[in-house]
Amino acid sequence: MDKYRVKPGEKIRLKDFDPEDTSQFSEGKPAGLARLAELTKRLDELQEVLYAEHKHKILVVLQALDAGGKDGTIRSVLGGINPQGVHIASFKVPTEQERDHDYLWRIHQQAPARGELVVFNRSHYEDVLVVRVHNLVSKDIWSRRYAQISSFEQMLAEEGTTILKFYLNVSKDEQKQRLQERLDVPSKNWKFNLGDLKERALWDDYISAYEEAIRKTSTDQAPWYVIPANRNWYRNLCVASILVKTLEDLKMKYPAPAADLSSIVID
Protein backbone atom coordinates (compact mmCIF):
# COMPACT_ATOMS: atom_id res chain seq x y z
CA MET A 1 0.00 0.00 0.00
CA ASP A 2 3.03 2.31 -0.04
CA LYS A 3 2.02 3.09 -3.63
CA TYR A 4 -0.74 5.30 -2.23
CA ARG A 5 1.30 6.96 0.52
CA VAL A 6 2.31 10.56 -0.13
CA LYS A 7 5.92 11.32 0.78
CA PRO A 8 6.59 14.44 2.87
CA GLY A 9 6.75 17.50 0.63
CA GLU A 10 5.84 15.52 -2.48
CA LYS A 11 4.06 17.71 -5.01
CA ILE A 12 1.09 15.71 -6.18
CA ARG A 13 -1.55 16.04 -8.86
CA LEU A 14 -4.65 14.06 -8.04
CA LYS A 15 -5.26 13.43 -11.73
CA ASP A 16 -2.14 11.23 -11.64
CA PHE A 17 -3.89 8.90 -9.15
CA ASP A 18 -6.33 6.57 -10.91
CA PRO A 19 -9.61 6.26 -8.95
CA GLU A 20 -10.26 2.98 -10.81
CA ASP A 21 -6.95 1.41 -9.79
CA THR A 22 -7.07 -2.11 -8.33
CA SER A 23 -3.47 -3.03 -9.08
CA GLN A 24 -2.51 -4.06 -5.55
CA PHE A 25 -5.04 -6.90 -5.52
CA SER A 26 -5.18 -8.62 -8.89
CA GLU A 27 -7.48 -11.50 -7.85
CA GLY A 28 -10.62 -9.42 -8.38
CA LYS A 29 -13.71 -8.46 -6.39
CA PRO A 30 -14.92 -11.86 -5.01
CA ALA A 31 -11.46 -12.70 -3.69
CA GLY A 32 -11.09 -9.11 -2.52
CA LEU A 33 -14.25 -9.35 -0.44
CA ALA A 34 -13.05 -12.61 1.07
CA ARG A 35 -9.73 -11.00 1.95
CA LEU A 36 -11.56 -8.01 3.41
CA ALA A 37 -13.51 -10.35 5.69
CA GLU A 38 -10.21 -11.78 6.95
CA LEU A 39 -8.79 -8.32 7.54
CA THR A 40 -11.84 -7.06 9.43
CA LYS A 41 -11.70 -10.14 11.65
CA ARG A 42 -8.03 -9.46 12.32
CA LEU A 43 -8.81 -5.80 12.95
CA ASP A 44 -11.36 -6.81 15.57
CA GLU A 45 -8.71 -8.92 17.32
CA LEU A 46 -6.16 -6.11 17.21
CA GLN A 47 -8.62 -3.54 18.50
CA GLU A 48 -9.33 -5.72 21.53
CA VAL A 49 -5.61 -5.86 22.34
CA LEU A 50 -5.37 -2.09 21.76
CA TYR A 51 -8.16 -1.54 24.29
CA ALA A 52 -6.79 -4.03 26.81
CA GLU A 53 -3.19 -2.86 26.65
CA HIS A 54 -4.32 0.75 27.16
CA LYS A 55 -1.10 2.16 25.77
CA HIS A 56 -1.55 3.32 22.18
CA LYS A 57 -3.93 5.82 20.59
CA ILE A 58 -5.07 5.51 16.96
CA LEU A 59 -6.47 8.37 14.90
CA VAL A 60 -7.89 7.76 11.43
CA VAL A 61 -8.78 10.82 9.32
CA LEU A 62 -11.19 10.28 6.41
CA GLN A 63 -11.61 13.01 3.82
CA ALA A 64 -13.35 12.92 0.45
CA LEU A 65 -15.49 14.95 -1.88
CA ASP A 66 -19.26 14.43 -1.63
CA ALA A 67 -20.26 10.79 -2.26
CA GLY A 68 -16.63 9.76 -1.89
CA GLY A 69 -17.51 6.87 0.43
CA LYS A 70 -16.52 7.93 3.94
CA ASP A 71 -19.60 6.41 5.59
CA GLY A 72 -19.32 3.24 3.51
CA THR A 73 -15.68 2.84 4.46
CA ILE A 74 -16.47 3.17 8.15
CA ARG A 75 -19.35 0.70 7.89
CA SER A 76 -17.42 -1.90 5.88
CA VAL A 77 -14.04 -1.70 7.61
CA LEU A 78 -15.08 -1.06 11.21
CA GLY A 79 -18.63 -2.39 11.28
CA GLY A 80 -17.60 -5.75 12.71
CA ILE A 81 -15.48 -4.35 15.51
CA ASN A 82 -16.60 -4.25 19.13
CA PRO A 83 -17.73 -0.64 19.64
CA GLN A 84 -15.92 -0.61 22.98
CA GLY A 85 -12.88 1.55 22.47
CA VAL A 86 -13.94 2.81 19.02
CA HIS A 87 -15.39 6.25 18.42
CA ILE A 88 -16.56 7.99 15.22
CA ALA A 89 -16.39 11.77 15.30
CA SER A 90 -18.26 13.66 12.56
CA PHE A 91 -17.57 17.35 12.19
CA LYS A 92 -20.42 19.46 10.84
CA VAL A 93 -20.74 23.22 10.55
CA PRO A 94 -19.22 24.68 13.75
CA THR A 95 -21.64 25.64 16.51
CA GLU A 96 -21.66 29.12 18.01
CA GLN A 97 -19.62 27.88 20.96
CA GLU A 98 -17.08 26.25 18.63
CA ARG A 99 -16.78 29.42 16.56
CA ASP A 100 -15.93 31.32 19.74
CA HIS A 101 -12.77 29.19 20.07
CA ASP A 102 -9.89 28.52 17.71
CA TYR A 103 -10.69 26.11 14.87
CA LEU A 104 -8.73 23.23 16.45
CA TRP A 105 -10.50 23.46 19.81
CA ARG A 106 -13.37 21.15 18.87
CA ILE A 107 -10.98 18.78 17.10
CA HIS A 108 -8.69 18.27 20.07
CA GLN A 109 -11.62 17.30 22.28
CA GLN A 110 -12.30 14.31 20.01
CA ALA A 111 -8.70 13.07 19.79
CA PRO A 112 -8.24 9.47 20.98
CA ALA A 113 -7.34 8.54 24.53
CA ARG A 114 -5.14 5.55 25.38
CA GLY A 115 -6.68 2.34 24.12
CA GLU A 116 -9.00 4.12 21.69
CA LEU A 117 -9.37 4.05 17.94
CA VAL A 118 -11.03 7.26 16.75
CA VAL A 119 -12.18 7.98 13.20
CA PHE A 120 -12.66 11.57 12.06
CA ASN A 121 -15.42 11.62 9.43
CA ARG A 122 -14.28 14.93 7.95
CA SER A 123 -11.90 16.79 10.20
CA HIS A 124 -9.76 19.84 10.89
CA TYR A 125 -8.91 19.80 7.19
CA GLU A 126 -12.25 21.39 6.41
CA ASP A 127 -10.62 24.59 7.64
CA VAL A 128 -8.22 24.56 4.67
CA LEU A 129 -10.76 23.06 2.23
CA VAL A 130 -14.34 24.34 2.40
CA VAL A 131 -13.15 27.48 4.19
CA ARG A 132 -10.71 28.15 1.37
CA VAL A 133 -13.02 27.28 -1.52
CA HIS A 134 -15.86 29.41 -0.18
CA ASN A 135 -13.64 32.30 0.92
CA LEU A 136 -14.96 32.11 4.47
CA VAL A 137 -11.70 33.58 5.76
CA SER A 138 -8.90 35.44 4.01
CA LYS A 139 -5.98 33.68 2.31
CA ASP A 140 -3.66 35.04 4.99
CA ILE A 141 -5.63 33.07 7.57
CA TRP A 142 -6.16 29.73 5.83
CA SER A 143 -2.66 29.63 4.33
CA ARG A 144 -0.99 29.64 7.75
CA ARG A 145 -3.18 26.81 8.96
CA TYR A 146 -1.14 24.15 7.15
CA ALA A 147 1.78 24.71 9.51
CA GLN A 148 -0.59 24.90 12.49
CA ILE A 149 -2.23 21.60 11.54
CA SER A 150 1.13 19.90 11.06
CA SER A 151 2.29 21.15 14.46
CA PHE A 152 -0.95 19.94 16.06
CA GLU A 153 -0.56 16.48 14.53
CA GLN A 154 3.12 16.37 15.51
CA MET A 155 2.14 17.09 19.10
CA LEU A 156 -0.46 14.29 19.05
CA ALA A 157 2.11 11.90 17.59
CA GLU A 158 4.76 12.82 20.15
CA GLU A 159 2.19 12.17 22.87
CA GLY A 160 1.62 8.65 21.58
CA THR A 161 -1.02 8.94 18.86
CA THR A 162 -0.61 6.94 15.66
CA ILE A 163 -2.15 8.96 12.81
CA LEU A 164 -3.38 7.72 9.44
CA LYS A 165 -5.02 10.07 6.94
CA PHE A 166 -6.98 8.82 3.95
CA TYR A 167 -8.19 10.84 0.98
CA LEU A 168 -10.80 8.72 -0.79
CA ASN A 169 -10.15 9.55 -4.42
CA VAL A 170 -13.38 9.33 -6.41
CA SER A 171 -13.69 10.52 -10.01
CA LYS A 172 -16.09 13.23 -11.11
CA ASP A 173 -18.00 10.76 -13.30
CA GLU A 174 -18.35 8.31 -10.42
CA GLN A 175 -19.57 11.08 -8.15
CA LYS A 176 -22.22 11.94 -10.75
CA GLN A 177 -23.44 8.33 -10.80
CA ARG A 178 -23.60 8.14 -7.03
CA LEU A 179 -25.50 11.41 -6.72
CA GLN A 180 -27.89 10.28 -9.46
CA GLU A 181 -28.48 7.04 -7.58
CA ARG A 182 -29.54 9.05 -4.56
CA LEU A 183 -32.25 10.58 -6.77
CA ASP A 184 -33.30 7.36 -8.51
CA VAL A 185 -33.45 4.97 -5.55
CA PRO A 186 -36.23 5.90 -3.08
CA SER A 187 -34.43 4.42 -0.09
CA LYS A 188 -31.49 6.72 -0.81
CA ASN A 189 -33.47 9.93 -1.39
CA TRP A 190 -32.76 11.04 2.16
CA LYS A 191 -29.05 11.24 1.31
CA PHE A 192 -29.56 13.74 -1.49
CA ASN A 193 -28.84 17.36 -0.71
CA LEU A 194 -29.24 20.16 -3.23
CA GLY A 195 -26.14 21.71 -1.70
CA ASP A 196 -24.12 18.80 -3.10
CA LEU A 197 -24.74 20.12 -6.61
CA LYS A 198 -23.37 23.54 -5.68
CA GLU A 199 -20.29 21.89 -4.23
CA ARG A 200 -19.90 19.74 -7.33
CA ALA A 201 -19.73 22.89 -9.45
CA LEU A 202 -16.60 23.81 -7.46
CA TRP A 203 -14.87 20.49 -8.23
CA ASP A 204 -11.67 22.00 -9.63
CA ASP A 205 -11.34 24.39 -6.69
CA TYR A 206 -11.67 21.52 -4.23
CA ILE A 207 -9.11 19.42 -6.10
CA SER A 208 -6.60 22.28 -5.93
CA ALA A 209 -7.31 22.74 -2.22
CA TYR A 210 -6.86 19.03 -1.52
CA GLU A 211 -3.62 18.85 -3.48
CA GLU A 212 -2.07 21.66 -1.48
CA ALA A 213 -3.37 20.37 1.85
CA ILE A 214 -2.04 16.86 1.21
CA ARG A 215 1.33 18.13 -0.01
CA LYS A 216 1.86 20.45 2.93
CA THR A 217 0.69 18.12 5.70
CA SER A 218 1.77 14.61 4.73
CA THR A 219 4.56 13.79 7.17
CA ASP A 220 6.30 10.69 8.47
CA GLN A 221 4.28 10.97 11.69
CA ALA A 222 0.95 11.75 10.00
CA PRO A 223 1.00 10.41 6.43
CA TRP A 224 -1.65 10.90 3.78
CA TYR A 225 -2.79 8.00 1.60
CA VAL A 226 -4.62 8.72 -1.67
CA ILE A 227 -6.95 5.72 -1.93
CA PRO A 228 -8.65 4.72 -5.21
CA ALA A 229 -12.34 4.98 -4.32
CA ASN A 230 -14.38 4.28 -7.45
CA ARG A 231 -14.64 0.60 -6.53
CA ASN A 232 -15.94 0.24 -3.00
CA TRP A 233 -14.50 -3.22 -2.36
CA TYR A 234 -10.99 -2.10 -3.29
CA ARG A 235 -11.24 1.13 -1.31
CA ASN A 236 -12.25 -0.82 1.78
CA LEU A 237 -9.54 -3.41 1.19
CA CYS A 238 -6.85 -0.72 0.99
CA VAL A 239 -7.94 1.05 4.16
CA ALA A 240 -8.31 -2.21 6.09
CA SER A 241 -4.89 -3.43 4.92
CA ILE A 242 -3.16 -0.26 6.05
CA LEU A 243 -4.95 -0.28 9.39
CA VAL A 244 -4.11 -3.90 10.13
CA LYS A 245 -0.44 -3.49 9.22
CA THR A 246 -0.17 -0.32 11.30
CA LEU A 247 -1.67 -2.01 14.35
CA GLU A 248 0.43 -5.13 13.93
CA ASP A 249 3.56 -3.00 13.72
CA LEU A 250 2.82 -1.66 17.21
CA LYS A 251 3.61 -5.15 18.60
CA MET A 252 0.80 -4.88 21.15
CA LYS A 253 0.28 -7.45 23.89
CA TYR A 254 -2.43 -8.26 26.38
CA PRO A 255 -1.40 -6.97 29.82
CA ALA A 256 -0.28 -9.47 32.42
CA PRO A 257 -2.83 -10.17 35.19
CA ALA A 258 -2.46 -8.12 38.37
CA ALA A 259 -2.10 -11.31 40.45
CA ASP A 260 -1.24 -14.99 40.00
CA LEU A 261 -4.41 -16.67 38.71
CA SER A 262 -3.13 -20.25 38.64
CA SER A 263 -4.52 -21.20 42.06
CA ILE A 264 -7.94 -19.57 41.67
CA VAL A 265 -10.91 -21.94 41.55
CA ILE A 266 -14.40 -20.74 40.77
CA ASP A 267 -17.06 -22.78 42.61
Nearest to 58 by CA among 222, 232, 184, 241: 222
Q: What is the pLDDT along the chain (267 residues), one digit of tens a residue?
A: 899 999 999 999 999 999 999 999 999 999 999 999 999 999 999 999 999 999 999 999 999 999 999 999 999 999 989 888 899 999 999 999 999 999 999 999 999 999 999 999 999 999 999 999 999 999 999 999 999 999 999 999 999 999 999 999 999 999 999 999 999 999 999 999 899 999 999 999 999 999 999 999 999 999 999 999 999 999 999 999 999 999 999 999 999 887 777 778 888
Residue 29: inside a domain, yes or no? yes
CB 128 within 8 A of CB 213: yes
Secondary element (H or E) of residue 121: strand 117-121
Domain holding 157, by residue range, is 2-249
Kindly compute the dihedral angle of the four CA atoms of residues 59, 125, 215, 170, in this order, to the nearest 10 degrees: 90
Question: pTM of the full predicted structure?
Answer: 0.95
* Amino acid at position 42, single letter: R
Q: List all residues 6 or more positions away from 66 whose beta carbon is below 8 Å from its beta carbon.
A: 175, 179, 196, 199, 200
Residue 120: inside a domain, yes or no? yes
CATH number at residue 245: 3.40.50.300
d(CA 36, CA 75): 13
Residue 260: inside a domain, yes or no? no
Residue 8: inside a domain, yes or no? yes
Residue 132: inside a domain, yes or no? yes
d(CA 2, CA 244): 14
Q: Domains in the chain: how many in total?
A: 1
Residue 102: inside a domain, yes or no? yes
Residue 103: inside a domain, yes or no? yes
